[in-house]
Amino acid sequence: MAARDGLLPQWQKALSALKAHAKVAWLDEPGTYKAVFAVVK
């Protein structure tokens, strides 16, 4: 579990970068961005 937990900051940084790139790529399609990165509660 410690090895997995150690990867969390790197994963969060990569996810943030992916979201930033996706937001730009789908600038004209905000619904697509919302659908791909929807948070289920």
For the chain, residues with pLDDT lower than 50 are none
What pLDDT, on a 0 to 100 scale, did the predictor assign at position 8?
96
8 contacts: CB under 8 Å, gap ≥ 6: none
- Show the CA angle centred on residue 19, arms to residues 28 and 16, nearest 5°: 155
Q: Closest by alpha carbon to 38, among 20, 25, 19, 24?
A: 19
Cα separation of the two ends of the chain: 25
